[in-house]
């Protein structure tokens, strides 16, 4: 194990709990905080130290890792008066693994640097399966020396670990990933909308096109579930909406015009309004086929 031994972990949801568990299995001493304590109970039962506040979880650690919901949550836990930046000891490494705003990541990096802290943005891809199997892709922005120092921690929870560049670069790369997913997902859904309108058997169409050039994880791993009327989330539709909204906002700031992103974001928002936000991203199929397929 590396010289970094004590880890404070903020956010023990579906992904965070699995990631913290892997770190414990690897011998790290893990302290945990979550707004809902019951979501951390399994980790506590295994020996994690429970903290009553984010501030308590940040103090006395070598590394503080967070994976929470939305940019507003990230800003609150890092930059509030009792947040991580104001609570962590000098020299602590701060790792936000939430998919969040690259602009906010740069803000946290600067605030941390002023306190002699080492902040990186390190969003992940791979979903709940990747978290459970410790096969996540980790996209890191910040100082490269901090990335190198954190590699032993990252290797416990991920397989493809990439240094993307300066602060915010990890978040920018993750948003690029989500934009690619959105277009692919919408394209697959639209293909089945066409097949339905043309009077084809959707299962026969799936058998024909899911193994050729049109194949993708969005078809075989996501939309397949929708065709089976399984909308249980591996990745919630509302979280895709959050990610695409970040992409939409920042693309304007960067001078990029992304019409497919804007279209899919509109469709996702419509599905959220219909009550499907907590379903998996395969629920977008309902937008194209109608709820009653």
pLDDT of 2: 63
Given the residues 174, 238, 242, 286, select the one marked as catalytic. 174
- Is there a domain that residue 123 lies in? yes
Q: Are residues 260 and 127 in the same domain?
A: no
Structure confidence at residue 128 (pLDDT): 87
pLDDT exceeds cutoff 80 at 292: no
Using the 3D structure, point to which of 166, 185, 207 is the last residue of a domain. Answer: 166
Q: What percent of the chain has pLDDT over 90?
A: 96
Q: 62 and 123: one domain? A: yes
Position 39 in a domain: yes
Clarify whether residues 121 and 213 are in a common domain. Answer: no
Q: Domain holding 33: CATH number?
A: 3.40.50.720
Together in a domain, 197 and 156: no
Domain boundary among 117, 132, 166: 166
Whether residues 28 and 69 fall in one domain: yes
Check whether residue 94 and residue 28 sit in a common domain.
yes
pLDDT of 234: 85
d(CA 227, CA 216): 15
**CA nearest 69: which of 24, 10, 137?**
10
Q: What is the pLDDT of residues 235-286, one digit of tens each?
A: 999 999 999 999 999 999 999 999 999 999 999 999 999 999 999 999 999 9
Q: Is residue 237 part of a domain?
A: yes
Residues 59 and 157 both lie in one domain: yes
Claim to verify: residue 134 and residue 184 sit in the same structural domain? no
Tell me, what's the pLDDT at 31? 98
CATH code (residue 218): 1.10.1040.10
* Token pair recorded at residue 113: 């640097």
Q: Are 141 and 171 in contact (CB under 8 A)?
A: yes
174 is catalytic: yes
**Same domain, residue pair 43 and 146:** yes
With 50 as the cut, is the pLDDT of residue 197 above it? yes
Give residue 32's pLDDT band: very low, low, confident or very high (50, 70, 90). very high
Q: Establish if 227 belongs to a structural domain.
A: yes
| 21 in any annotated domain | yes
As a whole number of angstroms, the distance between CA 177 and CA 185 comes to: 12
CB within 8 Å of 209: residues ≥ 6 apart: 191, 215, 219
Q: Residue 1: pLDDT above 70? A: no
Confidence at 47, pLDDT banded by 50, 70, 90: very high
* Residue at 182 is within a domain: yes
Asked whether the beta carbons of 151 and 117 are under 8 A apart, the reply is no
In the predicted structure, residue 158 carries a pLDDT above the cut 90? yes
Phi, psi of 158 (to 5 degrees): -140, 165
Task: Indicate whether 11 belongs to any domain.
Answer: yes
Task: Work out the mean pLDDT of the chain and round it to a whole number.
Answer: 96
Q: What is the pLDDT of residues 216-232, one digit of tens each?
A: 999 999 999 999 999 99
Output the CA torsion sign for 218, 193, 182, 272: negative
Domain that holds residue 55: 6-166
Query: What was the pLDDT predicted at 40?
Result: 97
Last residue of a domain, one of 122, 138, 166: 166
Is pLDDT at 175 greater than 50 in this prediction?
A: yes
Is 1 inside a domain boundary?
A: no
Question: Confidence class of residue 291 from pLDDT cuts 50, 70 and 90?
Answer: low
Judgement on whether residues 153 and 189 belong to the same structural domain of the protein? no
Tally of domains within the chain: 2
Dump pLDDT digits (tens) for 81-122. 999 999 999 999 999 999 999 999 999 999 999 999 999 999
The DSSP result for the chain, as a single string, is --S--EEEEE--SHHHHHHHHHHHHTT-EEEEE-SSGGGGHHHHHTTPEE-SSHHHHHTT-SEEEE--SSHHHHHHHHHSTTSHHHHSPTT-EEEE-S---HHHHHHHHHHHHHTT-EEEE--EESHHHHHHHT-EEEEEES-HHHHHHHHHHHHHHEEEEEEEESTTHHHHHHHHHHHHHHHHHHHHHHHHHHHHHTT--HHHHHHHHTTSTT--HIIIIIIHHHHTT----SSBHHHHHHHHHHHHHHHHHHT---HHHHHHHHHHHHHHHTT-TTSBGGGHHHHHH-S--
The model's pTM: 0.93
Quick one: 247 and 161 in the same domain? no
Q: Tell me how far apart the alpha carbons of residues 185 and 180 are, in angstroms, rounded to a whole number.
A: 9
Q: How far is residue 100 from each of residues 175, 193, 229, measured CA to CA in Å?
A: 9, 32, 30
Same domain, 161 and 32: yes
How many residues would you count in the chain? 293
**Is a pLDDT exceeding 70 seen at residue 70?**
yes
Question: What six digits make up the tokens of 197?
Answer: 């309108």
């Amino acid at each position: 194990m590396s010289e970094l031994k004590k880890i404070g972990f903020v956010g023990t949801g579906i992904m965070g709990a699995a990631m913290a568990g892997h770190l414990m299995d690897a011998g790290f001493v893990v302290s945990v905080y979550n707004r809902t304590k019951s979501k951390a109970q399994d980790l506590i039962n295994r020996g994690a130290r429970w903290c009553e506040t984010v501030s308590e979880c940040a103090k006395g650690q070598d590394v503080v890792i967070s994976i929470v919901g939305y940019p507003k949550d990230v800003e609150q836990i890092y930059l509030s008066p009792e947040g991580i930046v104001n609570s962590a000891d000098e020299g602590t490494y701060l790792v936000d693994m939430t998919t969040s705003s690259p602009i906010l990541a740069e803000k946290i990096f600067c605030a941390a640097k002023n306190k002699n802290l080492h902040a990186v943005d390190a969003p992940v891809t791979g979903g709940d399966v990747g978290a459970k199997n410790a096969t996540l892709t980790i996209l890191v922005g910040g100082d490269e020396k901090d990335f190198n120092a954190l590699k032993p921690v990252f290797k416990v929870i991920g397989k493809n670990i990439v240094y993307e560049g300066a602060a915010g670069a990890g978040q920018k790369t993750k948003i690029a990933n989500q934009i690619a997913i959105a277009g692919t997902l919408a394209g697959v859904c639209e293909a089945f909308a066409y097949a339905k309108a043309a009077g084809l058997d959707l299962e026969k169409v799936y058998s024909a096109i899911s193994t050729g050039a049109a194949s993708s994880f969005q078809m075989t791993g996501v939309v397949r579930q929708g065709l089976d009327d399984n909308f249980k989330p591996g990745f919630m539709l509302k979280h895709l909406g959050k990610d695409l909204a970040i992409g939409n906002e920042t693309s304007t700031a960067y001078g990029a015009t992304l019409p497919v992103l804007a279209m899919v974001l509109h469709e996702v928002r419509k599905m959220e309004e219909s009550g499907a936000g907590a379903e998996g991203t395969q629920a977008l199929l309902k937008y194209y086929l109608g709820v009653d397929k």
